[in-house]
Amino acid sequence: MEFAVSTKNTEFTTEVAILGAGPVGLTLANYLSKQGVQVTVIEQLDQLIDYPRAIGIDDEALRTIQSLGLVEQVLPHTTPNHAMRFLTPKSHCFADIQPLTREFGFSRRNAFIQPQVDNVLLQGLKQYPQTQVLFSRQLTEFSQDAQSVTLKMQNKQGQNEVVKAQYLIACDGGNSVVRRTLNIGFDGKTAPNQWIVIDIENDPLATPHIYLCCDPVRPYVSAALPHGIRRFEFMVMPGETQEELSKPENINKLLAKVLPNTQNIEVIRQRVYTHNARIADEFRVDRILLAGDAAHIMPVWQGQGYNSGMRDAFNLGWKMALVVKGKAGPELLDSYQIERKDHAKAMIDLSVMAGHVLAPPKKWQGFVRDGIAYALNYIKPIKQYLLEMRFKPMPQYHDGVLIQNKLKNSPVGKMFIQPKIELVSGEQVLLDEIIGNDFAILAWGVDPQWGLSETSLQQWKKLGVKFIQVLPAVQLQNEKRKQYDGVICVGDIGTDIRTWFGRTNDSMVILRPDRFVAALAIPQSVDQISQALFSKLHSKA
């Protein structure tokens, strides 16, 4: 099956245009298409990018891909539980980060090869006949008015084409022409050093995980990837150029630093790149929104550039679908920047800090780092903090589409857990599999509809909601168990969900389609809280 590309007309009409067929654009296209939105993806290149890019995908990103129905195709291209080890120049490990938790249903840190996963996302769009993917299109001009966005472009044959859309999502990278044309500030810093990436077939080391060697002469990274591929990254020294470094003899000199010999090495590709840490002043200008690298770029050291973009897609996708489908007002889209910008900035700061650990700006800082890190690695609470990656700032939204409460360390604004649950049939599945891409109201032990007025009940149904009653799994087969119309009953296999509720004073949780906690309630307060949430959603009754 080929993607539909019109040869008769030079004008395309669509609901959402997405500029850029990178992971963020393709994820948004899949999500919106799955929700019945008409999407047109516009890409300047002739095909997907195949040069070295991201190598780390986290549990949140996999949960996003799960929402697209594509995670089973992606997992075979990953290596779960990918540890990160910081080494001294003498290869002593002074920080060993092995995230082993699975609170969101997947391994917290995974190695992957981005072009393979991007291709899964591209192929996933073939199931949606209303979706177009237009490669080899050069954007020449765009404009917007109160009703639509108009994009003018040229195809490979030099013919002029026009796309008219209700909204444009610009996923066109760190050098975004849309962001620059709109004169949106992109403040931050560019690192003084470049790095060269070298990918090798038939991994000559075959040691697992990722190693970051803090060599004061030339820091480097050595990463095991799926399918027997090894990635090396070396800092480029002043005066070195991509043209010179890419010569086989110079590639071999670099590799000789980390390999016993360089005979018969199968180099797949190499590329020099610069680390930037920048964030856009605005993520939305009327009917145009920025996502992924167009909105924020960060150094690679925590693997969060790719994953932050995927968070953008999950956050924006469900909101855009509601607006386009007329279930919510366009004001809902303002919450995208409110919720995402602060966390993107936090991830930039973490990535910059990790880069300074690998390559300190001053030599003496490296000696201080090694001494402190060596000592801290033997203090159990701090070692556990590193092992579980608790230093990684998890998204928590304090404003936006949520109803905060006064609970200390409130789970409102955080992503809800995804344990395996048991169905009445006896089948065990991950929680999201029964929620789909809908809102959900989960209630511990009772009917989640009981406290809702008829008005609220109908409004929830219009928005799309799954009512879920959670019981201890052993109670599912009780023949006297009361059953409620329109309610899915699931069993808590262990104590994950019960323990989660045990940290609150409430027995009900309202989940957004991106799995973030929108509000907590009890049966007697859920109606009032629902009405307050409808106001935040700008939902149309």
Q: Is residue 44 a known part of a binding site?
A: yes
Q: Is residue 43 a known part of a binding site?
A: yes
Taking alpha carbons only, the member of 373, 358, 360, 52 closest to residue 221 is 358
Strand (E) or helix (H) holding 15: strand 11-19
Q: Is residue 20 a known part of a binding site?
A: yes
Q: Is residue 486 a known part of a binding site?
A: no
Q: Is residue 290 a known part of a binding site?
A: yes
Q: Is residue 348 a known part of a binding site?
A: no
Query: Is 364 exposed, middle or buried (CB count within 10 Å of its CB: 0-12, 13-18, 19+)?
Result: exposed
Q: Is residue 288 a known part of a binding site?
A: yes
Q: Is residue 529 a known part of a binding site?
A: no
What are the residue ranges of helices labelled H in 404-495? 432-435, 454-463
Q: Is residue 481 a known part of a binding site?
A: no
Q: Is residue 266 a known part of a binding site?
A: no
Q: Is residue 251 a known part of a binding site?
A: no
Q: Is residue 452 a known part of a binding site?
A: no
Q: Is residue 64 a known part of a binding site?
A: no
Q: Is residue 405 a known part of a binding site?
A: no
Q: Is residue 158 a known part of a binding site?
A: no
Q: Is residue 289 a known part of a binding site?
A: yes
Q: Is residue 287 a known part of a binding site?
A: yes
Q: Is residue 18 a known part of a binding site?
A: yes
Question: Helix, strand, or coil here: 407?
Answer: coil
Q: Is residue 35 a known part of a binding site?
A: yes
Q: Is residue 188 a known part of a binding site?
A: no
Q: Is residue 432 a known part of a binding site?
A: no
Q: Is residue 365 a known part of a binding site?
A: no
Q: Which two tokens stand for residue 343?
A: 């966390």
Torsion of CA 336, 33, 180, 50, to 10 degrees: 120
Q: Is residue 255 a known part of a binding site?
A: no
Taking alpha carbons only, the member of 285, 319, 286, 309 closest to residue 31 is 319
Q: Collect all residues with Cβ–Cβ distance below 8 Å to 10 and sequence separation of at least 6.
A: 159, 160, 161, 162
Q: Is residue 234 a known part of a binding site?
A: no
Q: Is residue 123 a known part of a binding site?
A: no
Q: Is residue 520 a known part of a binding site?
A: no
Handedness of CA 490, 494, 500, 503 (dihedral sign): positive
Q: Is residue 26 a known part of a binding site?
A: yes
Q: Is residue 453 a known part of a binding site?
A: no
Q: Is residue 15 a known part of a binding site?
A: yes
Would you say 210 and 246 are in contact if contact means Cβ atoms under 8 Å apart? no
Q: Is residue 38 a known part of a binding site?
A: yes
Q: Is residue 498 a known part of a binding site?
A: no
Q: Is residue 24 a known part of a binding site?
A: yes
Phi-psi map region of 248: left, alpha, beta (phi>0 left; psi -120 to 50 alpha): alpha
Q: Is residue 221 a known part of a binding site?
A: no
Q: Is residue 267 a known part of a binding site?
A: no
Q: Is residue 83 a known part of a binding site?
A: no
Q: Is residue 284 a known part of a binding site?
A: yes
Q: Is residue 56 a known part of a binding site?
A: no
Q: Is residue 6 a known part of a binding site?
A: no
Q: Is residue 109 a known part of a binding site?
A: no
Q: Per the annotation, where are the binding residues for FAD?
A: 15-44, 283-293
Q: Per the annotation, where are the binding residues?
A: 15-44, 283-293
